[in-house]
């Protein structure tokens, strides 16, 4: 999660070697690095998938299958978040390296640093992309020693005050102060190059992918997710064959109106037999949106995560909501989450939460490994930093995914993850259907066997073999504890066979069923009369009459009630019963 409130930005690792700084220009030079940059930008802007794949395969010095798959995934991520890209200016250039500031159709500005080999055919060694900040914040002037000193002093102070781990903050601050003192930054005069150098130096100590120093100022338009034309990150919602719901979105928007889009998507998929979340190109975002979407998957409020804020020394919790717009998915609906190495930050939290709550199956690749929310910190007119100031604490693991990522339950390459999840969902549906069929067969067989047992027990009862009938009905109640008639007949047979203690327990069970409550309470009154427990007998006799038992002749002729007939209450009860009738 790029912050507790925001952000989902392109984040690719950058390896920078020395460059020769030129005056800023907007024309790509005809150098080996410049020609490769032109081809790289064309591949981003191209709608032809075949030509893009050909470029990704042929233009780089390393192109094994695993690297190519990751490169394709990153290319899709760049395209989904930036749209088309045009060069705004060339910040620095040499034969083998070029730094260009570009603007995109999404409104974001990025600095691209591309490095090529020293010899022909000058294949690409590395490509890095950094957010370039707001257009009006760009400063083309070279960094002088005073400016770099002010940046390092501010950066050290902010790290010590706000970075999530104080001990690590101290190590980072000390390292850059020593580097400044030793003159290691003297030859660096370009702001983007200095920002990248500092990022790599700090990360070599903290290994925190959320920490980043950038040139310029935070983008004045806000993060991509605040742009309604991006549909708040939601890319595709679809009902696949077999009733499998599919939802792809590329960031968790923190905008309130984004929840309307999310609710519409979840309600469209509300009758799915299984649900797939595609987070393979999702770079993170707002914990509020994570909790909102998760609320559709849990019936009761569920503790998802906690965040420790180091500057404030506070801990806040995120929970699912009891109610959502529309209907929730049943607990039996299988959930699958698709991940890749590009799945990062808040997208990792969503995956990590569902994995540890046993509510979802993670399918794909191990995620990027960033668990620290960030805040922007200005470092002067030409630089700013995304500062990791908090850390996630999962209530189940008491840890998080920082530096290690979220391990998939089913590990496959990112481009095969959707196909695998569909297969798993289909297999689950087949297994569920088979289980239902088996259960139905078992139920049917159980019903047939039970009917035979009831017939035999009833035959014994009709023949007044009450002891044997009681044994038979006892077995029926063991198999079907909710069979009120079986309990009534069982209690009657026990009573008639003289086992009144056990009969009392069975009568009490039968009294729990509405259709037998009146006669069962009458039988209980008879047992208490036999036991000479007069008060209890009258209590249940009165209850039986209130519940509808009204046979005065049976009461007067029943030998079980002989012990209570001499009590004055009995005559009054009979008189009232006759009067009521």
Residue indicated by tokens 């906690």: 306
Residues 434-452 have a mean pLDDT of 72
Q: What is the pLDDT of residue 192?
A: 82
Q: What is the pLDDT of residue 325?
A: 96
Residues 57-72 have a mean pLDDT of 84
195 burial type by CB count under 10 A (0-12 exposed, 13-18 middle, 19+ buried): buried
Q: What is the pLDDT of residue 444?
A: 67
Residue 3: pLDDT band (50, 70, 90) is: very low
CATH of domain 228-373+390-429: 3.90.226.10
Which region holds residue 465: left if phi is over 0, alpha if psi is between -120 and 50, else beta?
A: beta
Please check the confidence at residue 499 and state whether its pLDDT lies above 90.
yes
Residue indicated by tokens 């395209």: 79
pLDDT 10s digits, 183-197: 999 998 888 889 889
Which is nearest to 188 in space by CA: 142, 132, 127, 129?
142
Residue 428: pLDDT band (50, 70, 90) is: confident
In angstroms, the CA 287 to CA 496 distance is 68
| Percent of the chain at pLDDT exceeding 70 | 90
Residues 20-49 have a mean pLDDT of 81
In angstroms, the CA 248 to CA 266 distance is 11
Range among 204-218, 331-345, 443-457 rated most confident: 331-345
113 burial type by CB count under 10 A (0-12 exposed, 13-18 middle, 19+ buried): buried
In angstroms, the CA 188 to CA 364 distance is 41
Sign of CA dihedral 146, 148, 149, 150: positive
pLDDT 10s digits, 367-426: 999 999 888 899 988 889 999 999 999 999 999 999 999 999 999 999 999 999 999 998
Residues 53-63 have a mean pLDDT of 89
Q: What is the pLDDT of residue 36?
A: 95
Q: How far apart are the first and last CA of the chain?
A: 76
Sheet containing strand 85-93, strands side by side: 21-25, 85-93, 97-104, 109-116, 124-131
| Range name among 73-82, 215-224, 232-241, 293-302 with the lowest pLDDT average | 215-224
DSSP for 21-62, written as a single string: EEEEESS--SSHHHHHHHHHHHHHH---HHHHHHHHHHSBS-
Q: What is the pLDDT of residue 113?
A: 87
Residues 195-201 have a mean pLDDT of 92
Q: Select the more confidently predicted residue: 166 or 22.
A: 166
State the span(s) of the chain assigned CATH 1.25.40.10: 434-580
Q: What is the pLDDT of residue 121?
A: 93
Q: What is the pLDDT of residue 4?
A: 41
In angstroms, the CA 513 to CA 395 distance is 44
| Range name among 154-163, 210-219, 474-483 with the lowest pLDDT average | 210-219
pLDDT 10s digits, 217-244: 765 444 444 455 678 899 999 999 988 9
Q: Select the more confidently predicted residue: 193 or 107.
A: 193
Please check the confidence at residue 6 and state whether its pLDDT lies above 60.
no
Q: What is the pLDDT of residue 268?
A: 97
In angstroms, the CA 194 to CA 210 distance is 18
Please check the confidence at residue 167 and state whether its pLDDT lies above 90.
yes
Residues 259-265 have a mean pLDDT of 96
Q: What is the pLDDT of residue 133?
A: 60
Please check the confidence at residue 10 and state whether its pLDDT lies above 90.
no
Q: Select the more confidently predicted residue: 278 or 427.
A: 278
Residues 513-539 have a mean pLDDT of 94
Q: Please, which residues have CB within 8 angstroms of residue 550's CB and are 6 or more apart in sequence?
A: 577, 580, 581
DSSP 566: T
Residues 433-447 have a mean pLDDT of 69
In angstroms, the CA 47 to CA 105 distance is 15
Assign 3-class secondary structure to 492-527: HHHHHCCCHHHHHHHHHHHCCCHHHHHHHHHHHHHH
Residue indicated by tokens 């299958």: 65
Q: Please, which residues have CB within 8 angstroms of residue 475's CB and are 6 or more apart in sequence?
A: 453
Residues 434-580: name the CATH superfamily.
Tetratricopeptide repeat domain (1.25.40.10)
DSSP 209: T
DSSP for 92-121, written as a single string: EE-SSEEEEEEEETTS-EEEEEEEE-SSTT
Which is nearest to 385 in space by CA: 151, 139, 167, 173?
151
Please check the confidence at residue 20 and state whether its pLDDT lies above 50.
no
In angstroms, the CA 511 to CA 518 distance is 7
Please check the confidence at residue 118 and state whether its pLDDT lies above 70.
yes
pLDDT 10s digits, 546-574: 998 888 888 999 999 999 998 999 998 88
Which region holds residue 17: left if phi is over 0, alpha if psi is between -120 and 50, else beta?
A: beta
148 contacts 180 by C-beta, under 8 angstroms: yes
State the span(s) of the chain assigned CATH 3.90.226.10: 228-373+390-429
φ, ψ (nearest 5 deg) of residue 190 = -90, 135
Residues 59-79 have a mean pLDDT of 81
Cα–Cα distances in Å, from 260 out to 233, 263, 325? 12, 5, 9
Residues 267-279 have a mean pLDDT of 95
Residues 202-222 have a mean pLDDT of 79
Q: What is the pLDDT of residue 553?
A: 87
What does pLDDT average to over the chain?
87
């Amino acid at each position: 999660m790029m912050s507790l409130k925001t952000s989902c930005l392109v984040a690719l690792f950058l390896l920078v070697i020395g460059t020769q700084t030129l005056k800023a220009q907007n024309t790509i030079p005809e150098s080996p690095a410049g020609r490769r940059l032109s081809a790289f930008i064309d591949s981003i802007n191209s709608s032809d998938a075949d030509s893009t794949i050909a470029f990704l395969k042929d233009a780089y010095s390393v192109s094994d299958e695993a690297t190519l798959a990751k490169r394709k995934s990153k290319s899709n991520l760049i395209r989904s978040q930036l749209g088309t890209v045009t060069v705004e200016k060339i910040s620095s250039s040499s034969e083998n390296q070029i730094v260009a500031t570009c603007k995109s159709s999404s409104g974001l500005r990025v600095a691209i640093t591309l490095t090529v080999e020293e010899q022909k055919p000058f294949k690409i060694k590395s490509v890095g992309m950094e957010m370039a900040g707001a257009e009006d914040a760009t400063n083309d002037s070279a960094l002088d020693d005073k400016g770099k000193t002010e940046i390092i002093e501010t950066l050290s102070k902010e790290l010590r005050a706000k970075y999530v781990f104080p001990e690590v903050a101290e190590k980072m601050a000390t390292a850059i102060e020593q580097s400044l003192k030793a003159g290691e930054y003297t030859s660096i005069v370009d702001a983007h190059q200095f920002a990248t150098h500092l990022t790599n130096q700090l990360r070599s100590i903290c290994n925190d992918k959320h920490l980043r120093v950038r040139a310029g100022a935070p983008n004045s338009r806000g993060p991509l997710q605040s742009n309604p034309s991006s549909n708040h990150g939601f890319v595709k919602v679809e009902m696949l064959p077999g009733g499998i719901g599919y939802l792809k979105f590329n960031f968790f928007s923190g905008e309130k109106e984004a929840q309307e889009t999310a609710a519409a998507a979840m309600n469209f998929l509300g009758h799915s037999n299984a649900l797939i979340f595609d987070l393979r190109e999702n770079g993170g975002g707002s914990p509020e949106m994570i909790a909102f979407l998760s609320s559709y998957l849990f019936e009761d409020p569920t503790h998802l995560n906690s965040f420790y804020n180091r500057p404030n020394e506070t801990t806040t919790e995120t929970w699912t909501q009891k109610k959502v717009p529309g209907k929730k998915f049943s607990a039996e609906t299988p959930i699958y989450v698709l991940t890749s190495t590009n799945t990062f930050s808040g997208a990792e939290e969503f995956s990590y939460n569902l994995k540890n709550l046993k509510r979802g199956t993670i399918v794909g690749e191990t995620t990027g490994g960033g668990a620290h929310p960030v805040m922007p910190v200005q470092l002067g007119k030409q630089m700013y930093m995304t500062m990791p100031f908090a850390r996630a604490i999962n209530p189940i693991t008491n840890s998080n995914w920082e530096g290690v990522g979220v391990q998939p339950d089913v590990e496959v390459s990112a481009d095969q993850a959707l196909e695998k999840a569909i297969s798993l969902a289909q297999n689950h549906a087949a297994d569920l259907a088979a289980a239902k069929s088996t259960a139905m067969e078992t139920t049917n067989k159980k019903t047939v066997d039970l009917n035979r047992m009831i017939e035999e027990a009833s035959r014994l009862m009709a023949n007044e073999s009450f002891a044997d009938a009681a044994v038979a009905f006892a077995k029926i109640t063991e198999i079907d504890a909710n069979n009120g008639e079986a309990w009534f007949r069982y209690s009657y047979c026990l009573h008639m066979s003289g086992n009144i203690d056990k009969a009392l327990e069975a009568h009490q069970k039968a009294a729990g069923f509405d259709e037998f409550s009146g006669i069962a309470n009458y039988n209980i009154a008879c047992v208490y009369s036999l036991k000479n427990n007069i008060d209890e007998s009258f209590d249940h006799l009165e209850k039986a009459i209130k519940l509808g038992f009204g046979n005065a002749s049976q009461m007067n002729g029943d030998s079980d009630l002989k012990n209570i007939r001499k009590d004055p209450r009995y005559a009054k009860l009979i008189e009232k019963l006759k009067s009521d009738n």
